Amino acid sequence: MTTAALAPGAESARFSRTREGATVLAVYLTSIAVALLVAALVLWATGGSPTTVLSAMLDGSVRADARWGRTISEAIPLLLVALGTTVNAKAGLVNIGQEGQLFVGAALATYVFTHIGVSGPFVLILIMLAGVVGGAIWAGIASALRYRRRMPEVLTTLLLVFVAAQLVGYGLKNSNLLLDPTPDQANRLLVSERLDPSTRLPRLSWFGNEFPVSAFVALALAVVVALVLSRTIVGFRLQMLGRGPRTAHRAGVSESRYGGMALVVSGAFCGLAGAFMLVGGDFGNYRLTPGFAVNIGWEGLLVALVARSHPIVAIPAAFVFAALRTGSGFLAATGVDRDITKVVQALLVLALLGPPAILFVRDRRRALAAARDRV
Amino acid sequence: MTAPPAAELEGITKRFGAVVACDDVHLALQRGEIHGILGENGAGKSTLMKVLIGLVLPDAGMIRVSGEPCRISDPAEAAEYGIGMVHQHFSLVEPLTVWENAILGERIRLDAASARQRVSEISERYGLDIDPDERVSDLSAGLRQRVEIIKCLRRDPAIVILDEPTSVLTPGESEQLFAVLRRVVEQENKAVALVSHKLDEVLTATDRITIMRAGTVVDRRDTTDADAPGLARAMVGRPVSLRSEGAALGHIEALDGEAAAEGSESEPSAESAEESPVLSISAATAKGRDGRVLLDGLSLEVYPGEIVGVAGVEGNGQAPLSDLLSSLLPLESGTVRVRDSEPVPGRPGSMAAAGVAVIPADRHESGCVLDMTVAENLTLVSPPRSRLGRAFLDRAGREAVAERLIEQFGIQTSGADAPMWSLSGGNQQRVVLARELSGDPAVLVAAQPTRGLDVGAIEYVSERLREAARQGVGVLLISTELPEVLDLADRIVVIFRGRIVGEMDRAGMDVERLGLLMSGAQEAAAS
């Protein structure tokens, strides 16, 4: 270009934080409005009443007795999974095997409490550690394959979900592994032994709403992740790796060490989520069951996407996703067809997922255009 | 009335942000003529040509083809008007063969036999000797360019644009290229536009010259009326000393005697022989993942306070050498020593920790992170650590460092927290330069440090390199621009096929021998 390119602040003036924030907000509001409109149309076309449905959703998630406690209970594992996902996403890695990592974490936790032979609060710590280790191992397999054998982690993490289901399923068929060994039970269900009451997580009861104390652990971890990412050298280097791997390598960031660590940490968060679900009591009634994970892993991944990998934003996002889960439980009473309620739920998910995708594509385009203009 | 020109650009204006790349430019390309478009990097030549081929839409102005006004909004439309372009950077698919590349992008039924035949026909007609079944990955840069030219000529365009075609060619290959262009023009009455910043090639290869500076046409003449000093003055806009003129503008002959004369006057760092080198690479050998030899026993030394230029035709090991010193390339054998340490090649950060600063050829790939802030980019290698603990960032300290470097290196930005992508190319390069020099390096590797920069930025970068050398840093300048190497380097080594094949200092400069070394002729004769 000409010497005019050196004129003060000529091009960088295009960037403004206020305008950026306003754009993001506008994109979200438009997106949600469109989704609600389409949802209303779908309901109306199938003979339902949009207002009744909305009211039922609100009842189910927050308004009715004890419901917001239930929503918080569901939000805890969603938030933990989302936090883990944020860590690997910052390192430029794609983990889509949360469901499996969560399940393996819960299974290892179950194995520990069914085999340790003692019970009591101190075992609780051990169970949670087992969950962390289980999730970390499961993600660690994908990590090892990624950095030793160059296998894409997108594939391995996903495929390991199905391996996990088979593996835990096998454990639940064998009484020396996970299956409840109680004899002379007719129609034996493939479930584990029930957690001893002395080994359960304390539950709080506020205004008739109950939720386990793990809620505060999850909130604290969100703050910790946010601080590690923004205030520590490790966090800085992790983000460098995600945004410019070659530059990071030159600056001394080992891809296998930081990337591998990010994936393992991500799995550990999922494993912890699984352990909390087990000892918290809201899932499986203190037992491991074949469908124990109930899509928390998949939906936690969506929470991270909606929060655009921001740990603090993940807190309200997790609550909203939990509210969609608990709220849809009340829809059946409105007479609206069950499948239609799923369509409505999916539309809202899309409305929240759309803006990050739109903003991502916009940022990419802008960066590419900037690169092209200036080479 | 004479026939209208093959193509006419009228009043073309194009702005990028605050920068005017082309300002009311007029240009007429006549049939049967090679039209040289001369100007420094950033003078607006490429932008003008991109307007003609439809890659850039002008803000104002008009294009006429054979007298008919037309609107060209993409290269496919340009092709319909009979305009074809050979780009500076190759756009070939390496694993495919020559003929497969030649028909890429065509919407016809695939007919291998006729496509092959068509390629053979073109290569015969224009003397572009090539085997249609050869894989592009096996071809040299010169041959790859032939494929590009065949790709362009296959549609039988009436107007052919070549953008800096000789930047990857040896002098011999360049001569062959010009012979082909002459044939195209004389036999088929085509119009050729040759974009270049090299005086000598414009003088030898063209019929008419348009000179651009800072986005405007400053002069037009017939080649027969032009001479080197006059063109140089028009290009730079001020009288230039013979030496820097030659160096900056690619007129090598002008430099020849002058360099030797200067060498004999000034004392070429005599004491450097007694000092120990800050960087010494010995017998470095490396292979790519596909088994290709990248470095083949490369050895070189850099002493404190000197600028060593690595000259060579692109693709002979410059990128691997730069990667090696960026800790991006592990070696199969050989060692690298930096001062008294022996960093492990390829281990993350090893070279940076040993004191090797790098200005990479592609700053977006390994020099900076576009999605991070200017402050973060200025402290990528050694972020300031907090007093609370070594694991924590000192954010205030980082801001302070960034503010200081922004001031010191004159980086134009809206603030230390502006994202890197919001900066212009020249300012991004300043950020890289500022970070690398602020680390107090022993060695500074500059790979193509001025590529794509405007005149002011080029001068700035060159001056910073000289300054670093004056302060005792060993500077390794890796550049395919011979004039740049000749201008800056105290000592020149020539790289060919991954090894150093020759060396000469300023006093013993022999441009002809340099050219032979670069083309590998010396190598062949020796073995």
**One domain for residues B453 and B305:** yes
| Chain A environment of B419 (Cβ under 8 Å) | 15
State the Cα–Cα distance between residues B450 and A252, nearest whole angstrom: 26
Query: Nearest 5 degrees, angle CA B84-CA B88-CA B94?
Result: 90
Q: Measured between CB atoms, does B373 come within 8 Å of chain A? A: no
Residue B63 lies in a domain: no
> Are residues A13 and B426, on separate chains, in Cβ contact within 8 Å?
no
Write down the pLDDT at residue B452. 67
Q: Measured between CB atoms, does B19 come within 8 Å of chain A? A: yes
Residues in chain A: 375
* Segment holding A58, helix H or strand E: helix A50-58
> Are residues B393 and A14, on separate chains, in Cβ contact within 8 Å?
no
- Alpha helices (H) in B411-481, listed in sequence order: 425-438, 455-470
Among chain B residues, the shortest Cα distance to A10 is held by B18
Among chain B residues, the shortest Cα distance to A364 is held by B371
- How far separated are the first and last CA of chain A, in Å rounded? 10
More confident residue, A97 or B514: A97
Last residue in a domain, options B105, B133, B156 = B156
Among chain B residues, the shortest Cα distance to A247 is held by B366
Q: Which of residues 345-364 of B touch A (CB under 8 A)?
A: 347-353, 358, 360, 364
Residue B461 domain boundaries: 270-367+441-526
| Chain A environment of B422 (Cβ under 8 Å) | 11-12, 14-15, 370
The rounded mean pLDDT for chain A is 86
**One domain for residues B151 and B276:** no
Counting the structural domains of chain B, the total is: 2
More confident residue, B210 or A324: B210
State the Cα–Cα distance between residues B343 and B332, nearest whole angstrom: 14
State the Cα–Cα distance between residues A277 and A80, nearest whole angstrom: 11
Q: Which residues contact B153 (CB under 8 A, 6 or more apart)?
A: B84, B122, B126, B160, B184
* A contact test, residue of B393, B395, B443 with most A CBs within 10 A: B393
Q: Which residues contact B111 (CB under 8 A, 6 or more apart)?
A: none
> Are residues A231 and B352, on separate chains, in Cβ contact within 8 Å?
no
H, E, C per residue of B76-107: HHHHHCCEEEECCCCCCCCCCEHHHHHHCCCC
CATH code at B297?
Answer: 3.40.50.300
State the Cα–Cα distance between residues B308 and B319, nearest whole angstrom: 16
Write down the pLDDT at residue B103. 83
State the Cα–Cα distance between residues A330 and A55, nearest whole angstrom: 9
Q: Which of residues 185-244 of B touch A (CB under 8 A)?
A: 214-215
Compute CA B447 distance to the chain's CA centroid, rounded to the nearest angstrom.
Answer: 10
> Are residues B18 and A246, on separate chains, in Cβ contact within 8 Å?
no
Q: Which two tokens stand for residue A222?
A: 């969100």
User: Which amino acid would we find at residue A107?
Assistant: A
Rounded to 5, what percent of chain A is helix, strand, coil? Answer: 75, 5, 25
| Chain A environment of B435 (Cβ under 8 Å) | none
Among chain A residues, the shortest Cα distance to B369 is held by A244
| Chain B environment of A251 (Cβ under 8 Å) | 348-349, 352, 380-381
Q: What is the per-residue pLDDT across A289-311, written as a single tens digit (0 to 9) for each? A: 988 999 999 999 989 988 888 99
User: Which amino acid would we find at residue B380?
Assistant: L
Interface of A with B (CB under 8 A): 1-15, 230-236, 239-240, 243-244, 246-255, 363, 366-367, 370-371, 373-375
Residue B423 lies in a domain: no
Among chain A residues, the shortest Cα distance to B382 is held by A251
Among chain A residues, the shortest Cα distance to B350 is held by A252
State the Cα–Cα distance between residues B451 and B17, nearest whole angstrom: 21
| Chain B environment of A246 (Cβ under 8 Å) | 328, 365-366
Where b means 16+ CB within 10 Å and e means fewer, A175-211 reads eebbbbeeeeeeeeeebbbbbeeebbbeeeeeeebeb
Question: Between A10, A363, A366, which is nearest B17 by CB?
Answer: A10
Residue B35 lies in a domain: no
> Are residues A243 and B452, on separate chains, in Cβ contact within 8 Å?
no
Question: Between B380, B415, B428, which is nearest A240 by CB?
Answer: B380
Where b means 16+ CB within 10 Å and e means fewer, B107-124 reads eeeeeeeebbebbbebbe
Question: Between A11, A233, A247, which is nearest B367 by CB?
Answer: A247
State the Cα–Cα distance between residues B484 and B487, nearest whole angstrom: 5
DSSP secondary structure of A131-159: HHHHHHHHHHHHHHHHHHH---HHHHHHH
User: Which amino acid would we find at residue A228?
Assistant: V
Three-state DSSP class for B282? strand
Q: Measured between CB atoms, does B328 come within 8 Å of chain A? A: yes
Q: Measured between CB atoms, does B421 come within 8 Å of chain A? A: yes
> Are residues A3 and B455, on separate chains, in Cβ contact within 8 Å?
yes
Torsions phi, psi for B237 (to 5 deg): 85, 10
Last residue in a domain, options B103, B132, B156 = B156
Q: Is A166 exposed, middle or buried (0-12, 13-18, 19+ CB in 10 A)?
A: exposed
> Are residues A233 and B424, on separate chains, in Cβ contact within 8 Å?
no
Q: Is the dihedral of CA A151, A154, A155, A158 positive or negative?
A: positive
Q: Which two tokens stand for residue B497?
A: 């096929």
Which among B190, B182, B142 is positioned nearest to B166, based on CA atoms?
Answer: B142
* Segment holding B252, helix H or strand E: helix B252-265
Residue B11 lies in a domain: no
Residue B166 lies in a domain: no
Write down the pLDDT at residue B237. 65
| Chain B environment of A5 (Cβ under 8 Å) | 18-19, 42, 424-426, 454, 456-457
| Chain A environment of B348 (Cβ under 8 Å) | 248-255
| Chain B environment of A15 (Cβ under 8 Å) | 414, 418-419, 422
> Are residues B19 and A374, on separate chains, in Cβ contact within 8 Å?
no
Q: Which two tokens stand for residue A70?
A: 């239930």
> Are residues A234 and B391, on separate chains, in Cβ contact within 8 Å?
yes
Q: What is the per-residue pLDDT across A167-196, written as a single tens digit (0 to 9) for each? A: 999 999 888 888 887 765 656 678 888 888
**One domain for residues B152 and B277:** no
**One domain for residues B455 and B324:** yes
> Are residues A252 and B385, on separate chains, in Cβ contact within 8 Å?
no
State the Cα–Cα distance between residues B57 and B297, nearest whole angstrom: 48
> Are residues A236 and B393, on separate chains, in Cβ contact within 8 Å?
yes
**One domain for residues B342 and B480:** yes
Residues A30-37: what's their mean pLDDT?
Answer: 90
Compute CA A260 distance to the chain's CA centroid, rounded to the nearest angstrom.
Answer: 19
> Are residues A10 and B418, on separate chains, in Cβ contact within 8 Å?
no
Distance from CA of B114 to the nearest CA of A (A): 36
Write down the pLDDT at residue A98. 96
Q: Which of residues 83-112 of B touch A (CB under 8 A)?
A: none
Residues in chain B: 527
> Are residues A367 and B353, on separate chains, in Cβ contact within 8 Å?
no
Q: Which residues contact B494 (CB under 8 A, 6 or more apart)?
A: B310, B311, B312, B500, B501, B502, B503, B514, B517, B518
Among chain B residues, the shortest Cα distance to A240 is held by B369
State the Cα–Cα distance between residues A298 and A346, nearest whole angstrom: 13
Residue A281 is classified by DSSP as S
Residue B106 lies in a domain: yes
Q: pLDDT tens track of chain B, all 527 residues?
A: 467 888 999 999 988 766 778 889 999 999 999 999 988 766 788 889 988 988 888 888 889 998 888 888 888 888 889 999 988 777 888 888 888 888 887 777 778 888 888 888 888 877 778 888 888 877 777 788 888 888 888 888 899 999 888 776 766 778 888 888 888 888 888 999 998 877 778 888 899 999 988 888 988 989 888 887 778 777 766 554 434 444 444 444 444 444 444 433 334 444 444 578 999 999 999 987 777 788 999 999 999 999 999 988 777 888 899 999 999 999 999 999 999 899 999 999 999 999 999 999 888 888 899 889 999 999 998 899 988 888 899 999 999 999 999 999 888 888 898 888 878 777 888 999 999 999 889 999 999 888 767 666 778 888 999 999 999 999 999 988 777 888 899 999 999 889 899 888 887 777 777 777 777 665 544 44
Q: Measured between CB atoms, does B167 come within 8 Å of chain A? A: no
Question: Between A10, A12, A246, which is nearest B328 by CB?
Answer: A246
Residue B320 lies in a domain: yes
> Are residues B456 and A367, on separate chains, in Cβ contact within 8 Å?
no
> Are residues B454 and A5, on separate chains, in Cβ contact within 8 Å?
yes
Chains A, B: CB contacts under 8 A, how many? Answer: 166
Rounded to 5, what percent of chain B is helix, strand, coil? Answer: 40, 25, 35
* B contact test, residue of A239, A243, A250 with most B CBs within 10 A: A250
Q: Is the dihedral of CA B454, B456, B460, B466 positive or negative?
A: positive
Q: Which two tokens stand for residue B141?
A: 């840069």
Distance from CA of B131 to the nearest CA of A (A): 33
Residue B231 lies in a domain: no
Compute CA B6 distance to the chain's CA centroid, rounded to the nearest angstrom.
Answer: 30
Last residue in a domain, options B156, B173, B199 = B156
Q: Is A54 exposed, middle or buried (0-12, 13-18, 19+ CB in 10 A)?
A: middle
State the Cα–Cα distance between residues A39 and B111, nearest whole angstrom: 52
Among chain A residues, the shortest Cα distance to B374 is held by A12
Q: Is B219 exposed, middle or buried (0-12, 13-18, 19+ CB in 10 A)?
A: middle
